[in-house]
Amino acid sequence: MRSDLMKKGLERAPHRSLFKAMGYNDEELSRPMIGVVNSANEIIPGHVHLDIIAEDAKAGIRMAGGTPVTFPVIGVCDGIAMGHTGMKYSLASRELIADSIEIMATAHPFDGLMMITNCDKIVPGMLMAALRLNIPTIVVSGGPMLAGTRDGKMVDLISVFEGVGKVKSGKITQKELKALEDCACPGCGSCSGMFTANSMNCVTEALGLGLPGNGTIPAIDAARRRLAKKAGMQIMSLVNKDIRPRDIATLDAFKNAIAVDMALGCSTNTVLHIPAIAHEAGITLDLDLFNEISEKTPNICYLSPAGPHHLEDLHQAGGIQSVMKEISTIGTIHLDSLTVTGKTVRDNLKGVTVNRRDVIRSVEDPYSKEGGIAILRGNLAPDGGVVKQSAVSPDMMVNEGRARVFDSEEDAIAAILGGKIHPGDVVVIRYEGPKGGPGMREMLAPTSAIVGMGLDTSVALLTDGRFSGGTRGAAIGHISPEAAEGGPIGLIQEGDTIMIDIQKKKIELKVTKKELTRRKKTFQPKEPTIKTGYLARYSQFVTSASTGAIFKE
């Protein structure tokens, strides 16, 4: 056993003495030791109940003959960090999470790991650590929040964000916004739409590192607790058979994850996280692979923010396994990929059906023939930009408009809510990339303001920053190279014409090559605004969004 390095033999008597100081007995020390990474805290709704999930997971480990050992990691609530300096730290926390797990699981050599997780950067951070360490691991999420209800309609966090713009434009009153605020998020769990947290939980299941049900069983459902116990028992099977994350997360498995991503219409943040996770497994995923798979994979689900359904609906319809079964009929799923069940995808899908066709459409009757995400390229984004095309109005799939340029999110929000943005404008927000932000803030506030002001069918927004999974509209993020790295987005001037053609995967600044060359000669990128602390170090080591914003080697 790997854990024998810290507990077996004459020389390890001092080590055993320290374990016994914590109450472990000889029987517990003789068993395989499983590190239980628990991201519970009291600042993220998706994490407030994770101590319960962790206890259930530990019960499963004990039932199967192991000894669980819990340790924590940090987590940022993107919703609470949104719209201020705090959001600069969200993406950057992903690397700290992965690094801290590496430290804990190397300093204390566990035989296996259970990762109790939820929410935007915590899930990918844990997956990155799992593939870096490559010891038997299983991931269990805390599950999605239920949607709220208001006047007989389902609402969620994005309803509140968009409500701010509606108040500013006189569509609703502050009293109505308060009522919405009070009911949109009814309890624990990751926010109820196909936002980044749930996108990554679903990707985890599709990748094969979470058990069936991991992505969609509601947080408050007792089935979530039973899943945690089952996962606790299953990690012992993985340890005994020495099935490791890299045995599961192969290139074919990543292609499965991307295909499910496209079928669901997941968050654009998956285009940051999936390549970063693959990198830890020694696999390079080019952004063009997303377009290649999107062209073959229809968008068969219409979940918030794109459509009316939420994760509870997807779960009722059969969850991720039913989505995989449906798109496997057109050959977009690699059925022989191994999963943490110890079986292949093919085995897992036996007997799986779709229970609600209003939620999971057939591949013959999709919402669109292409997947939910598109990678755009052109002279404005030579290394790519990302858009959630499933959440774009048909009127905005091809668009040309006047650039309105802002060097920070705050300036853009002030202009939008101040009525200074008009139909036909293209809002440009730059110096918000991984290096320039630093930290690549999510732009949910400005995109929600555009929707709330009723401009989502006439105004586009592009940025070298990124968007929340809750963003909808013609919002193109991850523009690479970013402004701080001298990218063309830094050369845009107020009033320039920008052409966006999502159908042809193009984004162009309609300025001559001669003019761009002239501008570049005098262009001096702005320095990151944060000069000290972790983010200052982060800005020096982080790479482009086009490579997953991983650290330089």
* Token couple for 338: 């191994």
Residue 69: half-sphere exposure toward Cβ, Cα within 13 Å: 21
Q: Does residue 452 have a pLDDT over 90?
A: no
The radius of gyration of the chain's CA atoms, rounded to the nearest angstrom, is 23
pLDDT average, residue stretch 302-323: 96
Average pLDDT, the chain: 96
- As a 3-state breakdown, the chain gives helix, strand, coil percent values, each rounded to 5, of 45, 15, 40
Alpha carbon distance 347, 335 (integer Å): 8
3-class DSSP state of 159: helix
* Token couple for 379: 């002279």
3-class DSSP state of 427: strand
Residue burial 13-33, b: 16+ Cβ < 10 Å; e: rest: eebbeebeeeebeeebbebbb
Q: Which residues have C-beta within 8 Å of that of residue 338, sequence separation ≥ 6?
A: 208, 243, 247, 248, 250, 253, 344
- Strand stretches in 464-546, DSSP E: 475-480, 497-501, 506-509
Alpha carbon distance 410, 415 (integer Å): 9
Q: Does residue 470 have a pLDDT over 80?
A: no
Q: Does residue 379 have a pLDDT over 90?
A: yes
Q: Does residue 137 have a pLDDT over 90?
A: yes
What pTM, to 2 d.p., does this model score?
0.95
Helix 270-280 with 90-107: angle, nearest 10 deg: 20
Q: What's the pLDDT score for residue 444?
A: 83
Q: Are 61 and 517 in contact (CB under 8 A)?
A: no
Q: What's the pLDDT score for residue 256?
A: 98
Q: Does residue 95 have a pLDDT over 90?
A: yes
Among the residue ranges 62-76, 208-222, 466-480, the one predicted with the least confidence is: 466-480
Q: Around Cβ 91, how many Cβ atoms within 10 Å?
A: 31
Q: Which residue numbers are catalytic?
A: 468
Q: Which residues have C-beta within 8 Å of that of residue 173, sequence separation ≥ 6?
A: 167
CA distances from 537 to 95, 97, 200, 475, 486 (A): 12, 16, 27, 29, 19
Residue 364, exposed/middle/buried by CB under 10 A (0-12, 13-18, 19+)? exposed
Tens of pLDDT, residue by residue over 240-295, are 999 999 999 999 999 999 999 999 999 999 999 999 999 999 999 999 999 999 99
Q: What's the pLDDT score for residue 439?
A: 95
449/511: higher pLDDT: 511
Alpha carbon distance 204, 274 (integer Å): 10
Decide the pairing of beta strands 381-387 and 398-406: unpaired
Type of residue at 106: T
Instruction: Report residue 329 CA to chain centroid gap.
Output: 27
Quick one: what percent of the chain has pLDDT higher than 70?
A: 100
Residue 552, exposed/middle/buried by CB under 10 A (0-12, 13-18, 19+)? exposed
Alpha carbon distance 104, 38 (integer Å): 12
Residue burial 246-267, b: 16+ Cβ < 10 Å; e: rest: bebbbebbbbbbbbbbbbbbbb
pLDDT average, residue stretch 211-217: 98
Q: What's the pLDDT score for residue 201?
A: 98
Q: Does residue 177 have a pLDDT over 80?
A: yes
Q: Around Cβ 531, how many Cβ atoms within 10 Å?
A: 9
pLDDT average, residue stretch 190-201: 95
Among the residue ranges 41-45, 380-384, 414-418, 486-490, the one predicted with the least confidence is: 414-418
Taking each continuous run of H as one helix and of E as one strand, the counts in the chain are 21, 14
Task: Using the structure block, give the residue that is written with the tokens 């991201």.
Answer: 39
